[in-house]
Amino acid sequence: MALVEAIGVRKSFGHTEVLKGIDLEVERGEVVCLLGPSGAGKSTFLRCVNHLETIDAGRIWVDGVPVGFRSANGKLHELREREAAHQRRDVGMVFQRFNLFPHRTALENIMEGPVQVLGRGRAEVRAEALALLERVGLAEKAGAHPAQLSGGQQQRVAIARALAMKPKLMLFDEPTSALDPELVGEVLDVMTSLARDGMTMIVVTHEIGFARSVADRVVFLVDGAVVETGTPADVLDNPQQPRTQQFLAKVL
Amino acid sequence: MASDTRTHDVRDELVVVPLSHPWRWISGAVIVLVIAGLGWAMSEARIQWEDVPGFFTHPVMLEGLLNTIVLAVAAQGGAIVLGVVVALMRLSANPVARWFAVGYIWLFRGLPVLLQILIWFNLALVFEDISIPMLFSVPTNVVMTAFVAALLGLGLNESAYMAEIVRAGLSSVDEGQTEAAKSIGMTPMTTLRRVVLPQAMRVIIPPTGNNFINMIKGTSMASVIAFTELIHAANNISSRNLEIMETLFAAAAWYLVMVSVASIGQHYLERAYGPR
Ligand SMILES: Nc1ncnc2c1ncn2[C@@H]1O[C@H](COP(=O)(O)OP(=O)(O)O)[C@@H](O)[C@H]1O
Ligand SMILES: [Mg+2]
């Protein structure tokens, strides 16, 4: 079974249907890039996978577990917020606006999950957090508060914070869109190495270069529906659908 | 190059005349004069200044001081706890809870504190017993001492203000913070405790400090129901020796001491939770 299986996912805000039946499978170790124009529903879909939004119809499984539900006696029971929180431990998320905790240092941001959520000992968590900082190239910034870091550095800390939970799946929602152009590379480098290490990733991005070199598969989303999917070579260099062609003409 | 040197020369020749501030001197002198005049009037007034220190440390006054502090701290502490609860109800998804919070704030903020204190104190007139059927029952006039009535009157009124302050604080924290906390698997309680409240503190602490200073002074209203706080203590002393002004001045000095200490405390709290 694929790590992520989404079938017929629908989501409306008020009367506008934002997701109109999305089907998507992501295999273990696969990197999928979600492309599409603004307002297509990319963020909403990611948020549904992490149960930050509840879906109106369809189903999403992560590692065989139905997102937002507990199955018992052949029925699916909606989760309480506490139980939903437990489910989210396995899925890491990186936001466009970083969302680091401003009142804690880089190191404390990374330790927060393992210590407060998993209840692990501070000493071993600290050692792991320092190793994660090293991995994202910020070993010397352990004691810095987010306000003292550049956007690129903050985003790398945010990635480390998500990794500290040892997630099975990482979701990235336009992780470089809020960055100055010269800082985009350092974040993409971290994500590339993460992909090389076998992390399963769903990445919403406008960085076509990244999608081309790192993604195993590209999914193109317009108006809440998947219009084209395939390898980067197929979708990016030889798009079949007019909507894809139009979009790529603008972005490339 | 030539023009450069010329500008240089011209500047060197000019004498700089600093801006003079005649009004600063004049207004400063007026203020000093007024203060001196007031000081002189005070020294001429028929006040036994030498008696004030004695009243300041009079055992009855110290008892009033202790009661004032206990009442202010208990009322403010209770108000903070209640305020957080009411603020969370106000922001909750449950419409009944939301409406309850709105009504609570409307009622307890809307009535004068003095009136609320008097109502609590006289509760025995309308309810003989306070009871929950089958659980407990106590005579109202046993429970509703002056202290309890003052505590309820001051604390409930303050809790309505605290609810609004806490709500403003919680709302000031970016939605992205809650999302990030959720995304690492935090429960709502942990999110509140570890992420939202610490950041809301920056917004919550300054007005809470001001309110506590008001609370210290507000305890004086408990004197109308004969609770021995500072003013009632001062009256107790002066009813025996008729040195009304002297005892009131001693009480006034204690208020200033308490408010000064509270202000210093607020300063350090603000620094601890302030922006980094
Ligand atoms: N919480 C919300 N309430 C109402 N509308 C929303 C909400 N979140 C997103 N939308 C709407 O859903 C649509 C898709 O948004 P989004 O998923 O953010 O698109 P994308 O990430 O592809 O730009 C947009 O029209 C947006 O305005
Ligand atoms: Mg988006």
Spell out the residues 6+ positions from residue A45 whose beta carbon is closer than 8 angstroms to its own. Answer: A6, A9, A11, A19, A22, A24, A34, A221
Domains of chain A in sequence order: 4-249 (3.40.50.300)
| Distance from residue B141's CA to the centre of ligand 2 (Å) | 63
Q: Which residue's alpha carbon is at the smallest distance from atom 16 of ligand 1?
A: A41
Which positions in chain A touch B182 (Cβ < 8 Å)? Answer: 50, 52, 85, 88
Predicted local distance difference test score (pLDDT) of residue B12: 67
Segment B223-242 shows an average pLDDT of 93
Q: Which CATH architecture is the domain B58-273 placed in?
A: Orthogonal Bundle (1.10)
**What's this model's pTM, rounded to 2 decimal places?**
0.84
Alpha-helical regions (H) of chain B:
2-13, 22-44, 52-56, 59-90, 95-110, 113-121, 140-143, 146-172, 175-183, 188-190, 197-218, 230-241, 244-273
Angle between helices B59-90 and B95-110 (to 10 degrees): 150
- Cβ atoms within 10 A of the Cβ of B13, count? 6
Task: Please list the ranges in chain A whose pLDDT falls under 50.
Answer: none
| Distance from residue A224's CA to the centre of ligand 1 (Å) | 10
- Asked if A161 and A109 count as a contact pair (C-beta separation under 8 A), the reply is yes
| Distance from residue B212's CA to the centre of ligand 1 (Å) | 44
Delimit the domains of chain B by residue range: 58-273
CA-nearest residue to B196 within chain A is: A101
Tens-place pLDDT, residues B73-107: 999 999 999 999 999 999 999 999 999 999 999 99
Q: Which residue's alpha carbon is at the smallest distance from atom 7 of ligand 1?
A: A13
At residue B1 the predicted structure's pLDDT band, cuts being 50, 70 and 90, is very low
What is the residue-averaged pLDDT of chain B? 91
pLDDT for residue B140 is more than 90: no
A165 with B185: Cβ contact below 8 A: yes
- Asked if A185 and A150 count as a contact pair (C-beta separation under 8 A), the reply is no
